[in-house]
A and B are shown apart, each in its own frame.
Chain A
Amino acid sequence: MEFGLVELSRLQFASTALFHFLFVPLTLGLSIIVAIMETVYVMTGRPIWRQMTKFWGTLFGINFVLGVATGITMEFQFGMNWSYYSHYVGDIFGAPLAIEGLMAFFLEATFVGLFFFGWDKLSRTAHLVVAWLVAIGSNFSALWILIANGWMQNPVGAEFNPDTMRMEMTNFFEVVFNEVAQAKFVHTVSAGYVTASVFVLGVSAWYLLKGRHTELARRSIAVASAFGLAAALSVVVLGDESGYSASHTQKMKLAAIEAMWETHDAPAPFTLIGFPDKEARETHYAIEIPYVMGLIGTRSLTEEIPGIDQLVAESKDKVRSGIIAYDALMTIRSERDATPPEVRATFEEHSEDLGYALLLKRYVDDPRDATEAQIQLAADDTVPGVWPIFWAFRIMVGLGFSFIAVMAFFFYRASFKGMQFPRWALRLGVIIIPTPWIAAELGWFVAEFGRQPWTVDGILPTALSASNLSITDLLITLTGFVVFYTVLFIVEMGLMLKYIKKGPYMDVEETDTWMERHSHRLRTHDGQGPFAETPAE
């Protein structure tokens, strides 16, 4: 393989995936918020809620199409750029991707058209059902994608087949109920709910600051803060669950996130901040909180969390064991049915370390010819870049906790202070709009960069997964994607801003009919009509 090909392939995958995930979280959360608003509309019949549904629905639609458009790339990129990966694990990884299409994406994509075009063609209840089906479809999509991703982090329910030279599924339910996948799913969709809540809250806060559409804005904040508070709590709790499962599934990732160079006596301290130095194998200027890491990671006072140095030593043993497996595998591949049973037994014994031998392929064509120095290099490779994930993780967690505070404050004001919000809080609401996206992208960075050097943890090295393309191929498509996506992003942002500035579309006729029909009770507790604009703060 040409030098730099793997790096370019990774860069392209990372860029297109991170770009795709600019739109996904908003789709996940906004689909539910819109469905909640429409539920209130159908239950109360108040036109303001229909207006809210349509307004946020329009923004949902502008965002949704780019999620769909960039998702097309994702479905095919594994085959285009990661052909050996596709061959090696497609038997397991392909299944959740296909089920996502069957069960989830078909549902959301079929009904999303009806959501926009069906207002006059469907009864209220039928349209509400359509809105919920879109929301359910979107969220089920996330479930199956995260089952696929969870398997890359924690490859359960599969074993290597020497005849086909790939991993094959042994237990579908283990793949589906993979603890890593389940924790990741709830963590990720909750992050989507927080994103959408912050978005709705921020845009509404801007309206309140401008004194525009205040009725819509106040009600929207009420919905967003309640939903957002629950989601923000869930993100943190499930993030902790992910950390706990990493302590026994991806020890190296956990050690790197925490920059734990040496194994510490239990319970280990948590490094709040510091400057990890991979060369010196230490974290400079570390501020530590005693016991906390041990408690989060193992939920016990006595269990140790292994440090990076210890894990590298273990990796080295696994590389050696992997070489034995590789040697046996090559015999099986050439002898096939004539393979002596003891060779098969040797392979069975060492096959789970086969991936570690494949790490050597970067340095030597046949892992059996590896020198001691190359084995050491392969073992060292199992440590991901420490300081980037150390910091990315801390920024993500910091943002995660701040969302709880913001949502709690707005929820309190919305519930107990008559939906009156101080101007400083509204300004803060506008400023923080981009932050959930930063947190979400950093989260993916921690998860995927922290998984390196593997595409499938302990099974298949990234360096071996890429397609045999030329650098020219990659430069053409990478440039193409960057230019194309940048243009789409600018177009999308332009439309979003245009429709936010334009504000909700007032369905005058319907509002008038409703007012007439309900004129006898058109008085709220403060003696004003329900459509009287409350003065700006």
Chain B
Amino acid sequence: MILHDLISFDILRVIWWALLGVLLIGFALTDGFDLGVGALLPFVGKSDTERRVIINTIGPVWEGNQVWFILGGGAIFAAWPPLYAVSFSGFYLAMFLVLAALILRPVGFKYRSKRESATWRTTWDWALFVGGAVPALIFGVAVGNVLQGVPFYLTPDMLMPMYEGNSIMKLLGLLNPYALLAGVVSLSMLLMHGSAWLGLKTEGVIADRARRIGSIAGIVAALSYALAGLWLAFGIEGYQIVGEVVKDGPSNPLFSEVVRGGSWMDAYAIRPWIAVAPIMGFVGIALAVMGLRAGREVSTLLWSKLAIFGIISSVGLTMFPFILPSTVDPSSSLTVWDSSSSHLTLFVMLVCAVIFMPLILAYTSWVYKVLWGKVAEDDVTQNSQSY
């Protein structure tokens, strides 16, 4: 095991920081429209057949899309173990809500149309709504909390993660105004994305309704994103590493000293090029909304993807090198330089990613190509295998 010295530890850390972003963005770009479609389902589809059409646009692909989320979890575990340990236990009850909502989706898609009863189907429609809307909202709430810092610390002797506050109050504490604003950004962004997808995959009245809701959601997304940015610039204190930054030291957050001070937005003064990310966010939304209004199909979905790419990467780039800052003990904050796996593990995982990611992208594209085209009412009613 000498090969891993080919790539230095600090570069591997930056690569895995970027790959973490790739996975989260991959999740938002693919499963994001599934979540959006789920949240739109009761409003865009009025009759049973319309709802079946909507469900069947994502029926064959949501399962593969969801793997981006699972893989995101696995990759955080493998590449950023302290982040995995601290964040998921810290957001315990919120994570439980996300899991419960996400579990409703597979079951809802598959089981909804397996019985004729109207009550049965309506129940699952609302389950799918919850399965789409709740995670879409909570992911944003989580990001909003990360930007403000999370009340955790690591014990000096054992590095054991501890939290301030008790269970229910901790959950309510997560639902603070700034976090909810961030939740509005993510929910409206994914509603826009979901309607761009429905605009591509359906026709007639379903597509029209989706586009109408989607263009409103796009405007809400742009406004709330701008507001969240202003708030971050003027209302939330940033974090800074004190003294020399050791980039290839052991992954022990307590080895470096961190203080609060300045603004997160200082990053744009130090690295002006990162302004590209929020610009992509705004331009993407603007063009996606125009596309939705004009009834354009493929390009609208692509602009919506650009918007998501810009918005999510703007968060990571603004915070760099911080990943999960702590409010109660800033020095416990997790950064790119002190919360990764070992040099060897990062290397092994990179090799795996380099081998498998292209394969995944290739066969996923092939599947989308096979399924290309609109889903019509006849496809749904006459195919025994459809949902």
1/0 contact string of A77-101 vs chain B (CB within 8 Å): 0111101101100111111011111
Given A66-B107, A499-B114, 13 more A-B residue pairs with CB atoms under 8 Å apart are: A75-B74, A84-B160, A92-B345, A95-B348, A105-B71, A106-B71, A113-B59, A114-B371, A165-B159, A477-B93, A491-B107, A492-B111, A498-B114
- Say yes or no: B77 contacts A114, CB within 8 Å: no
Tell me whether A94 and B367 are in contact in the complex, defined as CB-CB below 8 angstroms, given that A76-B88, A83-B88, A163-B252 are known contacts.
no
Q: A residues within 8 A CB of B383?
A: 120
Contact residue among A91, A111, A170 (Cβ-Cβ distance under 8 Å from B81): A91
- Say yes or no: A90 contacts B341, CB within 8 Å: yes
1/0 contact string of A407-448 vs chain B (CB within 8 Å): 000000000000000000000000000000000000000000
Q: Give B1's nearest chain A residue, CB to CB.
A: A171
- Say yes or no: B385 contacts A83, CB within 8 Å: no
Tell me the bound Cα distance from A117 to B59 in angstroms: 8
Write the nearest CB–CB distance from B240 to chain A, whole angstroms.
Answer: 23
**Interface check B148, CB cutoff 8 A:** no
**Interface check B11, CB cutoff 8 A:** no
- Say yes or no: A94 contacts B161, CB within 8 Å: no
- Say yes or no: A95 contacts B345, CB within 8 Å: yes
Q: A residues within 8 A CB of B77?
A: 78-79, 86, 90, 93-94, 97-98
29 A-B pairs whose Cβ atoms sit less than 8 Å apart in the complex: A61-B110, A65-B109, A65-B111, A76-B73, A81-B89, A83-B160, A86-B77, A87-B82, A90-B341, A94-B79, A95-B349, A98-B349, A101-B70, A102-B353, A103-B352, A106-B64, A106-B71, A109-B64, A111-B64, A113-B62, A116-B385, A161-B250, A161-B342, A164-B159, A172-B348, A472-B168, A476-B96, A491-B111, A505-B384
Q: A residues within 8 A CB of B53?
A: none
Tell me the bound Cα distance from A106 to B96 in angstroms: 23
- Say yes or no: B71 contacts A79, CB within 8 Å: no
1/0 contact string of A131-145 vs chain B (CB within 8 Å): 000000000000000
Tell me whether A95 and B110 are in contact in the complex, defined as CB-CB below 8 angstroms, given that A75-B70, A87-B85, A480-B96 are known contacts.
no
**Interface check B207, CB cutoff 8 A:** no
**Interface check B128, CB cutoff 8 A:** no
Q: A residues within 8 A CB of B74?
A: 75, 94, 97-101
Q: B residues within 8 A CB of A61?
A: 110
Contact residue among A73, A114, A468 (Cβ-Cβ distance under 8 Å from B162): A468
Tell me whether A168 and B167 are in contact in the complex, defined as CB-CB below 8 angstroms, given that A87-B85, A330-B157 are known contacts.
no
Q: B residues within 8 A CB of A101?
A: 67, 70-71, 74-75
Q: B residues within 8 A CB of A473?
A: 92-93, 167
Q: A residues within 8 A CB of B95?
A: 76, 80
Q: B residues within 8 A CB of A69?
A: 102-103, 105-107
- Say yes or no: A83 contacts B106, CB within 8 Å: no
Tell me the bound Cα distance from A498 to B111 in angstroms: 12
Tell me the bound Cα distance from A84 to B158 in angstroms: 9
Q: B residues within 8 A CB of A188?
A: none
**Interface check A339, CB cutoff 8 A:** no
**Interface check B241, CB cutoff 8 A:** no
Tell me the bound Cα distance from A471 to B295 in angstroms: 53
Q: Identify which of residues 328-346 in chain A touch chain B, using a CB-to-CB cut-off of 8 Å.
A: 330, 333
- Say yes or no: B70 contacts A468, CB within 8 Å: no
Tell me whether A68 and B92 are in contact in the complex, defined as CB-CB below 8 angstroms, given that A79-B77, A86-B81, A94-B341 are known contacts.
no
Q: B residues within 8 A CB of A97?
A: 74, 77-78
**Interface check B86, CB cutoff 8 A:** yes
**Interface check B251, CB cutoff 8 A:** yes
Q: Give B373's nearest chain A residue, CB to CB.
A: A121
Binds A, one of B215-223, B278-286, B357-365: B357-365
Q: Identify which of residues 451-480 in chain A touch chain B, using a CB-to-CB cut-off of 8 Å.
A: 467-470, 472-473, 476-477, 480
Tell me the bound Cα distance from A170 to B99 in angstroms: 34
Q: Give A103's nearest chain B residue, CB to CB.
A: B356
**Interface check B21, CB cutoff 8 A:** no
Tell me whether A75 and B73 are in contact in the complex, defined as CB-CB below 8 angstroms, given that A110-B63, A165-B159, A472-B166 are known contacts.
yes
Write the nearest CB–CB distance from B282 to chain A, whole angstroms.
Answer: 32
1/0 contact string of B258-295 vs chain A (CB within 8 Å): 00000000000000000000000000000000000000
Q: A residues within 8 A CB of B344?
A: 168-170, 172
Q: Give B156's nearest chain A residue, CB to CB.
A: A333
- Say yes or no: B64 contacts A110, CB within 8 Å: yes
Tell me the bound Cα distance from A289 to B203 in angstroms: 74
- Say yes or no: A110 contacts B67, CB within 8 Å: yes
**Interface check A232, CB cutoff 8 A:** no
Count chain A residues whose beta carbon lies closer than 8 angstroms to a beta carbon of B.
Answer: 79
Q: Give B340's nearest chain A residue, CB to CB.
A: A91
Q: A residues within 8 A CB of B75?
A: 98, 101
- Say yes or no: A72 contacts B81, CB within 8 Å: no
- Say yes or no: A62 contacts B110, CB within 8 Å: yes
Q: B residues within 8 A CB of A121?
A: 370-371
**Interface check B139, CB cutoff 8 A:** no
**Interface check B60, CB cutoff 8 A:** yes
**Interface check A363, CB cutoff 8 A:** no
Tell me the bound Cα distance from A170 to B343 in angstroms: 10
Q: Give A62's nearest chain B residue, CB to CB.
A: B110
**Interface check A287, CB cutoff 8 A:** no
Tell me the bound Cα distance from A185 to B86 in angstroms: 31
1/0 contact string of A39-78 vs chain B (CB within 8 Å): 0000000000000001000000110011011111101101
Write the nearest CB–CB distance from B85 to chain A, whole angstroms.
Answer: 4
Q: Give A57's nearest chain B residue, CB to CB.
A: B385
Tell me the bound Cα distance from A415 to B313 in angstroms: 62
**Interface check A313, CB cutoff 8 A:** no
- Say yes or no: A90 contacts B84, CB within 8 Å: yes
Q: B residues within 8 A CB of A105?
A: 67, 70-71
1/0 contact string of A236-248 vs chain B (CB within 8 Å): 0000000000000
Tell me the bound Cα distance from A66 to B108 in angstroms: 11
Contact residue among A65, A103, A110, A470 (Cβ-Cβ distance under 8 Å from B166): A470
**Interface check A394, CB cutoff 8 A:** no
Tell me the bound Cα distance from A112 to B64 in angstroms: 8
Tell me the bound Cα distance from A497 to B60 in angstroms: 24
Q: A residues within 8 A CB of B63?
A: 68, 109-110, 112-113
- Say yes or no: A95 contacts B78, CB within 8 Å: yes
**Interface check A10, CB cutoff 8 A:** no
- Say yes or no: B92 contacts A80, CB within 8 Å: yes
For the complex of A and B, 4 pairs with smallest distance between CB atoms: A90-B81, A79-B88, A94-B78, A110-B64
- Say yes or no: A80 contacts B110, CB within 8 Å: no
- Say yes or no: A80 contacts B356, CB within 8 Å: no
- Say yes or no: A83 contacts B100, CB within 8 Å: no
- Say yes or no: B384 contacts A469, CB within 8 Å: no
**Interface check A254, CB cutoff 8 A:** no
- Say yes or no: B92 contacts A469, CB within 8 Å: yes
- Say yes or no: B84 contacts A94, CB within 8 Å: yes
**Interface check A274, CB cutoff 8 A:** no
Tell me whether A84 and B348 are in contact in the complex, defined as CB-CB below 8 angstroms, given that A66-B107, A91-B342, A116-B60 are known contacts.
no
Question: In the complex, which of the residues B60, B87, B95, B352 has the most CB atoms of chain A within 10 Å of its own CB atom?
Answer: B60
**Interface check B66, CB cutoff 8 A:** yes
Tell me the bound Cα distance from A91 to B343 in angstroms: 10
Q: B residues within 8 A CB of A492?
A: 111
- Say yes or no: B106 contacts A102, CB within 8 Å: no
Q: B residues within 8 A CB of A95?
A: 78, 341, 345, 348-349
Write the nearest CB–CB distance from B347 to chain A, whole angstroms.
Answer: 9
Write the nearest CB–CB distance from B329 to chain A, whole angstroms.
Answer: 14
- Say yes or no: B85 contacts A86, CB within 8 Å: yes
- Say yes or no: A83 contacts B96, CB within 8 Å: no
Tell me the bound Cα distance from A163 to B82 in angstroms: 14
Tell me the bound Cα distance from A107 to B362 in angstroms: 11
Q: Give A71's nearest chain B residue, CB to CB.
A: B70
Contact residue among A106, A111, A119, A472 (Cβ-Cβ distance under 8 Å from B385): A119
Q: A residues within 8 A CB of B87?
A: 79
1/0 contact string of B320-351 vs chain A (CB within 8 Å): 00000000000000000000011011001100
Tell me whether A107 and B60 are in contact in the complex, defined as CB-CB below 8 angstroms, given that A99-B352, A469-B167 are known contacts.
no
- Say yes or no: B85 contacts A84, CB within 8 Å: yes
